A and B are shown apart, each in its own frame.
Chain A
């Protein structure tokens, strides 16, 4: 018998995370002169800014006795001092001062990680630093474009990062999980198209001539006061490996040409999502909702942020319960539906990345 693939996606209910990739470690405003700690890809990282404002990311464990550097304080222009025995490291993770001796042990370093500040986030590369090309940071340009306004928050999701990706790659769940805000039955009734290209996947769904659900009706009325009537609704899910998903969403007055490209009679948002594995069983889920209308309204920015926060709270609860059920039933398999095609391409791409790193778990 010939085996066509070493592993099958059904076997790996949850996946390890590729290491040779950029992950968001935090919002730009979270990282200050005062050191903080965050666990990324199973590894605690100490984060702070230098006097010049440059973000520093070091392993959060002193070379000497592994005390967390994040409990220490920043010293000098770019250094951090271990709170236990006072060993000082510079921003490259190199010891610059050692207690009670006139020299510095040449091996006294802590790992420092390549870091890029972009799109209001700080990105970190946990794998082979010689491969850390800033050009590989996933596209989230709406976050800093003047054509878009909005804000977001972070969810600490008690599940493997792959489950969040599954959630975002198939939005039919909105009908059931988010019935009071963005859910409607046309979601599971309408057709969709999945396209995979390299490390990107797109899932496109159009719903024609439908009633706008409450969330979208409110948005339409922000732009078109007093709006009534049917809409054409779209959801275009754009995945970029390993874990960034920006979803082009919106509605336009029915029959005004939105499916053909004229969105002028509608409202458009981008749900920006990027998921960072914290451990194998938990994730930092960074999201923002960006819109291209009423750009100067802080009221709408705050309303949308809080509204989406409520919607995502429903996902958070489901994902946590799903992870618990997976853990409680280790011998049960996943089965896949036609609606999972986007998520399945994501899994295929992640498996290829893991395989290239020699970290793909075997099917057995």
Chain B
């Protein structure tokens, strides 16, 4: 909701850090200008990556009544853009620059029925919604999907709070989620809120569309940080600007082009708005579309891409062994 999203930057102190699952650190912050956090909110904060100050977004997992204690949870992702490594180095007493809670994923009160779907660390955006729905005595199911029990944060707390309303699916215990069955259970008045890996969200969206359910009732938030493939280093060529740039594993194509001095157009930097769209002139490799701006049809065409989140990879399957070439993927583009 645009109106409430004017950023107010302020200092916050780390007052607690605790590992809540394998590779997931809970970080409690005390902001200097506390306000109550609505369900679905995130904060932006400044992290240090390779000596540079960059902005990252993290969901507010829980908060106390006055907003003086905001909890985030961050999964250590060595292949991603480096923010999580910084976050995992935080210790109590350290200061951070943060915004107040920002809202891009509002929970609507008053739906007939709710399904909340969290995949892995996506629970950070969903946990708070579930708590509010429980308080409102709403009809809801919380579906929590993970690779292994050890990697699922807050599982015990959620089980205790939500009891029968919590449905857990764990890949390595053979109880993986069947997306079509989940969507089949959604009725006309159901609102589904989801946050998780893009593969999971794409599958839900495809089923939702196939079943002709009302698209606005499918709510999701993406921070543009997961794809169908693991990130690889690739090369981007921009003849118009006479540039050839390497995009390292932990950096986006947009960032790499900016580093090289290109004046790129962008806005959201998470694959939603489409402003950083570039035209693809030539490609050796495959595009890993990580945005939600293009339809599946447009993504299949691969004549354009959103360079803030999407990447080029070498293989059709994502496995290095299937790489169809010796070197990195090479993409030639024309920016706007």
Contacts and interface: CB of A to CB of B under 8 A. Distances in A.
Nearest to B110: A114
Give the secondary structure class of A's interface: loop
A357 to B, nearest CB: 10
B3 A103 contact: no
Interface in B83-121: 104-106, 108-110
B108 A105 contact: no
Interface string A69-113: 000000000000000000000101011100001111111011110
A130 B274 contact: no
Contacts of B110: 114, 129
A318 to B, nearest CB: 35
A52 to B, nearest CB: 14
Contact of A130 (B1, B109, B297, B298): B109
Interface in A116-147: 129-130, 132
A90 B216 contact: yes
29 contacts: A59-B1, A59-B3, A61-B2, A63-B1, A66-B2, A94-B216, A95-B216, A96-B216, A102-B294, A102-B295, A103-B292, A103-B293, A103-B294, A104-B215, A104-B216, A105-B272, A105-B292, A106-B104, A106-B219, A106-B222, A106-B292, A107-B221, A109-B106, A110-B1, A111-B1, A114-B109, A129-B110, A130-B132, A130-B136
B220 interface: yes
A269 to B, nearest CB: 37
Given A102-B297, A102-B298, A130-B132, A107 B215 contact: no
Contact of B108 (A61, A92, A96): A92
B2 A63 contact: yes
Nearest to A91: B216
Given A59-B3, A92-B216, A130-B135, A101 B293 contact: yes
A130 B132 CA distance: 8
B220 A106 contact: yes
Nearest 5 pairs of A and B residues by beta carbon: A102-B295, A94-B216, A107-B104, A129-B109, A111-B1
B274 A61 contact: no
Contacts of A94: 216
Given A95-B216, A114-B110, A107 B105 contact: yes
Given A63-B2, A109-B1, A103 B295 contact: yes
Contact of A112 (B108, B219, B273): B108
B315 to A, nearest CB: 27
Contacts, number: 58
Contacts of B216: 90, 92, 94-96, 104
A63 B292 CA distance: 18
Contacts of A96: 215-216
B94 to A, nearest CB: 28
Interface string B204-230: 000000000001100111100000000
Contacts of B274: 101
A291 B219 CA distance: 50
B293 A105 contact: yes
A111 B3 contact: yes
A105 B270 CA distance: 11
B109 A132 contact: yes
Nearest to A79: B216
B209 to A, nearest CB: 11
Given A102-B295, A106-B222, A130-B136, 13 more contacts: A63-B1, A90-B216, A96-B215, A96-B216, A101-B274, A102-B297, A105-B272, A106-B105, A106-B219, A106-B221, A107-B104, A107-B221, A111-B3
A219 B247 CA distance: 86
A114 to B, nearest CB: 7
Interface in A46-73: 59, 61, 63, 66
Nearest to B291: A103
Nearest to B136: A130
Contacts of A114: 109-110
Nearest to A357: B36
B250 to A, nearest CB: 25
Nearest to B4: A111
Nearest to A63: B2
Given A106-B220, A106-B292, A61 B135 contact: no
B193 to A, nearest CB: 11
Among B105, B216, B298, the one with the most A-chain Cβ atoms within 10 Å of its Cβ is: B216
Nearest to A111: B1
Interface string B148-183: 000000000000000000000000000000000000
Nearest to A90: B216
